[in-house]
Chains A and B, each alone.
With several copies, the nearest count.
Chain A
Amino acid sequence: MALTREQLAQRVAQEFQDGYYVNLGIGIPTLAANYIPDDMQVMLQSENGLLGMGPFPLDEEIDADLINAGKQTVTMIEGASLFCSAQSFAMIRGGHVDLTVLGAFEVDCQGNIASYMIPGKLIKGMGGAMDLVAGADNIIVTMTHASKSGQSKLLSQCTLPLTGKNCIRRVLTDLALMDIEGGKFILRERAPGVSVEEIINLTSGELTVPDHVPEMTV
């Protein structure tokens, strides 16, 4: 079975390590914050100028001056800090954030990512995504493995305008966890109940399948 949004978030959370500073994109990545293990501290960076983002506020705690990068009202945890956008992206561009998780439209086996623009259709802008993919060594892209019509999103070459070139090393889809190495996808884990054949069929870019591909634990 393909992973649900919650299961994707759970699997993302398995990448967290104690003491990690993490930037989570809008959508599924943000959900991963709900699955931080109890014996672990992870601090969330919001690129609009907050390190140490907490949960959504109680109704009476709402503060228009305290939002996240998705413009949602949020809170701060103890030990949080606030700063300007230049400092925030100094942190990101300078490689000080330990893990970045974000969504995409397409990823290819060169590590290219397209996530911000569908020409003639969707022109919203890249926000902080280009800085995030250029600044982080450790990035996980989360997305569905294929479009609703069954077109693979894991390509030999991205077809949409790129957000970043040769910067993605790990992709988590609803079907599989894959690394990108030497111009190939490498199948690391499959979603529970999903066969290797199904993943091969829905992966358009070159794919290496090790002898043993364990099921994810979610």
Chain B
Amino acid sequence: MSGFDKVVTSYEEALEGLEDNMTIIAGGFGLCGIPENLIKEIKRKGTTGLTIASNNAGVDGKGLGLLLEEKQIKKMIASYVGENALFEAQMMSGELEVELTPQGTLAEKMRAGGAGIPAFYTATGYGTPVGEGKEVREFNGRHYILEEALSGDFAIAKAWKADRYGNLMFRKTARNFNPMAITAGKIAVVEVEEIVEVGQLDPDEIHLPGIYVNRLIQGTFEKTIEQRTVRKA
């Protein structure tokens, strides 16, 4: 009787079934709250031809930047990719396809993918390159464009704490895209800093219910800081 116990004990097992040319929805904002060990495992596996939806594409040598090094990514769906020289080079050379998506639209597309909403209207991007080729419709005298949901074969995400049933809590701004990314994956894999026994989490304080989580693994994290900014005491 395994029931609702989502815990797996190796990263290999966590990403079992991930194959070339699949689509992955990834959590994280910059390098904050990224599933860093799951990304490393994808690098180790050598899976290629991937389509990845993630707000950013990591930096050189960190996060999704690791997968760019090996040219494992065929297409990126992201809102901001400005921190990565390798990314720019591959995009300019045409090796890497890029679909720039406004940040809020990207978040909403992932949420829609998880929530059974195939498409929604938003004013974001109307009259810009993002709106090109998309249906425009007026509601109450304002123009909106139609955006379709995003979902993936896998979701990879990072949370702070989980119980064995996959009930999740996130920490501070490391929450970001992680909850929606998880809901949008056919197989949702989440790595966390701590796994507690069932019953240890207050049901009112769970940020995302375990029903969305398929596999759960405890890891250790580098948590690289991109812009270390301090004030004087």
Contacts and interface: CB of A to CB of B under 8 A. Distances in A.
- A and B: direct contact (Cβ < 8 Å)? yes
Interface string A131-166: 100110000000000000000000000000111111
B94 interface: no
Contacts of B211: 21, 43, 45, 51, 91, 96-97
Most chain A CB inside 10 Å of its own CB: which residue of B31, B114, B207 = B114
Interface stretch (A6-14, A55-63, A184-192, A208-216): A55-63
B176 A48 contact: yes
A47 to B, nearest CB: 7
Given A90-B115, A162-B127, A131 B102 contact: yes
Interface stretch (B17-25, B66-74, B76-84): B76-84
Nearest to B92: A123
A79 B177 contact: no
A71 B176 contact: no
A81 interface: yes
Given A49-B175, A90-B114, A62 B1 contact: no
Contacts of B206: 81-83
Given A67-B32, A67-B173, A131-B104, A51 B209 contact: yes
B127 A164 contact: yes
A125 interface: yes
Given A41-B1, A63-B172, A90 B111 contact: yes
Interface of A: 18-19, 21, 39-41, 43, 45-52, 55-59, 62-68, 70-74, 76, 78-97, 112, 117, 123-131, 134-135, 161-166
B167 interface: yes
A65 B104 contact: no
B58 to A, nearest CB: 12
B32 A48 contact: yes
Contacts of A84: 107, 170, 175-180, 207
B1 A73 contact: no
Interface of B: 1-4, 29-33, 55, 78-83, 88, 91, 98, 100, 102-108, 110-111, 113-117, 122-130, 143, 160, 163-165, 167, 170-180, 183, 198-199, 203-204, 206-207, 209-212, 223-233
Contacts of B178: 84
A72 B55 contact: no
25 contacts: A39-B1, A47-B103, A49-B176, A56-B230, A57-B230, A58-B230, A58-B233, A65-B173, A67-B225, A71-B31, A76-B172, A80-B203, A84-B170, A85-B106, A86-B110, A88-B104, A89-B103, A93-B115, A93-B123, A96-B114, A130-B125, A135-B123, A162-B128, A163-B128, A165-B126
B172 A82 contact: yes
A161 B175 contact: no
Which of B125, B199, B229 counts the most chain A CB atoms within 10 A? B229
A82 B203 contact: yes
A56 B170 CA distance: 22
B54 to A, nearest CB: 11
